[in-house]
Amino acid sequence: MGKNNDSNVISRAYIDSLTIEQRLIDAVLPSPKARILGKAFATPIMNAAFSFLAASHPGYPAEMAKGFRQADALNMWGMSNDEEMSAIYATGADTIEIIKPFRQEDDIFHRIEFAIAHGAFGVGMDIDHAFGKSGDYDDVAGYIMEPKTVQQLTSYVKAAGNLPFVVKGVLSVSDACKCAEAGAKAIVVSHHHGIFDGAVAPLRILPAIREAVGDKIEIIVDCGFESGLDVFKGLALGANAVSVSRHILAKTYESGADGVEKEIRKMTGELVSVMGRCGFATVDSIDDSVIWK
């Protein structure tokens, strides 16, 4: 695939293509507080799902989780083992564990049970890891993946019990509606940092997904968000929350939990400034009427 098909480049260009009008008269200093899956947080900015960090950077998964807790923000984590997840849960950060679409269903149910037993905030699955790039199901560290059916997703939702189930890697109205049908409480509109070349930009498809699912399901969006201005655009186009992934990872490497907290607070401040300039006093009230494409 040529450079022009790089989904990260396409997504970043789309974020930058969106411009915003200003509505200053009668504006007030806004609040960035956000309710995500039933809980109030200081910001709609949350972690994305990471994996395999502990191997190269021992202690960093927990450090990152601590940073999100310090910032009163929601944490998320990806493919992991019991030891790494235990260290993350021990930080007390509200954490959604995103489980891989393992072919072995036992592996999925083990992770769901582990999450429940350790007080997870939620569980979910990154369905976009089903296929590899060479004509077969994906193989991640020796684990074979597979696409899941609505019935299988429904069984995970049931196994999660009171924990909200989140489907990550949704990039179509069709999948979003199937997630709602399965009883998922939220979806992450994402292409998993370019797992799929030529993917539609998450922000481009987000309004169509929001229109199709209405308020039935909460929407998190990610891929390429680096500032409060970017986050504002995600919220304006229909997201309840925005995951910031590689940008925050860089801050973890630089200065651990404090670096994560500082960056989330900085981005939240930028978001408040944009909200104020656009006349939105609360996160819930932000809409797309100020966006010029």
Ligand X SMILES: Cc1cc2nc3c(=O)[nH]c(=O)nc-3n(C[C@H](O)[C@H](O)[C@H](O)COP(=O)(O)O)c2cc1C
Q: Which residues are catalytic?
A: 192
Among residues 248, 270, 268, the alpha carbon closest in space to that of 67 is found at 248
**Residue 78 binds to ligand X (criterion: CB under 6 A):** yes
Tokens of 64: 């990152």
CB 37 within 8 A of CB 228: no
- Rounded to the nearest whole angstrom, what is the least distance from the CB of residue 249 to ligand X in the complex? 6
Q: Which of 7, 91, 245, 268 binds ligand X (CB under 6 A)?
A: 245
Which of 231, 244, 264, 286 touches ligand X (CB under 6 A)?
Answer: 244
Q: By CB under 6 A, tell whether 192 contacts ligand X.
A: yes
As beta bridge partners, residue 221 has 189, 242
99 near ligand X (CB under 6 A): no
Binding to ligand X by residue 49, rule CB under 6 A?
Answer: yes
Q: Give the residue with the Cβ less far from ligand X, 126 or 175.
A: 126
> What DSSP string runs through 50-71?
--SHHHHSTTHHHHHHHHHHHT
Classified as helix, coil or strand, 91 is coil
Binding segment for ligand X among 220-228, 229-237, 264-272, 280-288 (CB under 6 A)?
Answer: 220-228
Kindly tell me which residue out of 37, 54, 96, 98 binds ligand X, with binding defined by CB under 6 A: 98
Q: Which of 69, 148, 168, 178 binds ligand X (CB under 6 A)?
A: 168
Return the SS3 of 244.
strand
Going by their DSSP bridges, the two strands 19-20 and 291-292 should be labelled as antiparallel
Tell me phi and psi for residue 170, to 5 degrees.
-90, 130
Length, in residues, of the chain? 293
Instruction: Please report, as residue ranges, which positions from 19 to 38 form the binding site for ligand X (by CB under 6 A).
Output: none
Among 35, 118, 193, 277, binds ligand X (CB under 6 A): 193
CB of 188 to ligand X, least distance (A): 7
Binding segment for ligand X (CB under 6 A), chosen from 37-45, 186-194, 206-214, 281-289, is 186-194
Binding mask 115-134 for ligand X (x = CB under 6 A): -----------x--------
Kind of pairing between the strands at 39-41 and 34-36: antiparallel
Q: Closest Cα partner for 199 from 128, 290, 121?
A: 128
- The least distance separating ligand X from the CB of residue 70, rounded to whole angstroms, comes to 20
From candidates 35, 246, 262, 277, binder to ligand X by CB under 6 A: 246
Among positions 15, 46, 62, 79, the unique one binding ligand X when judged by CB under 6 A: 79
Following DSSP, what letter does each residue of 152-212 receive, concatenated?
HHHHHHHHHTTSPEEEEEE-SHHHHHHHHHHT-SEEEE--TTTSSTTPPPHHHHHHHHHHH
Distance CA 118, CA 235 (A): 31
Minimum distance between the CB of residue 153 and ligand X, rounded to whole angstroms?
15
Does 187 sit near ligand X (CB under 6 A)? no
CB of 171 vs ligand X, minimal distance in Å: 11
Residue with CB nearest ligand X? Answer: 78
Please count the helices (runs of H) and the strands (runs of E) in the chain. Answer: 10, 14
Residues found near ligand X in the complex (CB under 6 A): 48-51, 78-79, 98, 126, 168, 190, 192-193, 222-225, 244-247
